Amino acid sequence: MKLADKTNKETHMQKRRKLSHSLEDAMIEAIHLSVGKFTYMNMMWLRHPEQLTDLSLAADYDPMKCFNSLDGKLQGQLRELQQAVTSKFHEVFTNILFWKEFKIQMQQQHSNSITRIRHTVGASIFDCKPSELDTATARMKFKEDIRFIEEADGTTRYKSLCPILYKDYEGHHEKRKIFFNCSLFQIYTALVRGSIAVTRKTDASGRPTLEDIWGLKSKGITPGAIAACAIYVQNTTVRAMAPVVDQENTDALDEIGVDSGAEDSETSMNGSQKPDRVEMNCKK
């Protein structure tokens, strides 16, 4: 019995090593290179990854209707994944181990990002003392900003639309104010340009940033990136991530982002660059 118990208590790292050994090193590296950009710019969670092994591109897919059905969402996700992962590995999309590793690395990306935001730029972004972000109890000072709710049974949740997402929030939803809160853009800046770009305590290090490596200046901020920053704002200030709840909120925020003019930050159809909203909305 003791031997069985010991076997059942396999650690997360042991499972990770077994999974990694089942995949080629080149494939692991391809996933690693793809996950960061995909998580920040496209989606924070894979939607029904178990279905990706049998999914193929539909000829009649309409991106304007991607939120109308689960099939549309899955097709949209597959297209974004094919753009994120080098074509050399598209054929292994049928391997469930590929998606398990992809999911693990996305979860690690979430954890690393929240920790980095809290400890390097959180106090600057939220205009508070570092100690006010150190513990779950201390972070409760922000609960009204994210509409944090604790139920009688101890479960917690927060509303997708909450004051911290708006610029000059006035108690109700305004299409042209949502996602324009400076804290979202500062989090985006920290993620793709580095914490030094937020704190401005010293000059830039001279090393290329993710914004440079990924060529983001010419592409602008995607609705997926804005939704990701909204989730990071809420999780950095109060609670740890809850994948099911947060994925539902991300889906809702993605739809709102597309409908609220989030695409205004992207390059226009004729190729001319539109204004950078990060710079426009975060000057104090």
User: Per the structure, how many domains does the chain have?
Assistant: 1
Name residues whose C-beta falls within 8 Å of residue 193's C-beta, 6 or more positions apart in sequence. 209, 210, 211
* pLDDT single digits (tens) 13-32: 555 555 555 678 888 888 99
Q: How much is the average pLDDT of 149-154? A: 80
Q: pTM, whole model, 2 decimals? A: 0.75
Weakest-pLDDT range from 111-120, 141-150, 224-233: 141-150
Is residue 58 scored above 80 in pLDDT? yes
Is residue 3 scored above 70 in pLDDT? no
* pLDDT single digits (tens) 93-127: 999 999 999 999 999 999 899 999 999 999 999 99
Residue of higher predicted confidence among 206 and 279: 206
- At 156, is the secondary structure helix, strand, or coil? strand
**Summary count for the chain: helices (H), strands (E):** 13, 2
Residues 112-143 as b/e (b if ≥16 CB within 10 A, e otherwise) read ebbebbbebbbbbbbebeeebbeeeeebeebb
Q: How much is the average pLDDT of 62-85? A: 91
Is residue 263 scored above 80 in pLDDT? no
Parallel/antiparallel/unpaired status of strands 156-158 and 148-150: antiparallel
Specify whether the CB–CB gap between 173 and 180 falls below 8 A: no
pLDDT of residue 173: 85
Domain encompassing residue 59: 2-281
Q: How confident is the model at residue 140 (pLDDT cuts 50, 70, 90)?
A: confident
Residue in this structure with the two tokens 């972000």, named with its chain if needed: 133
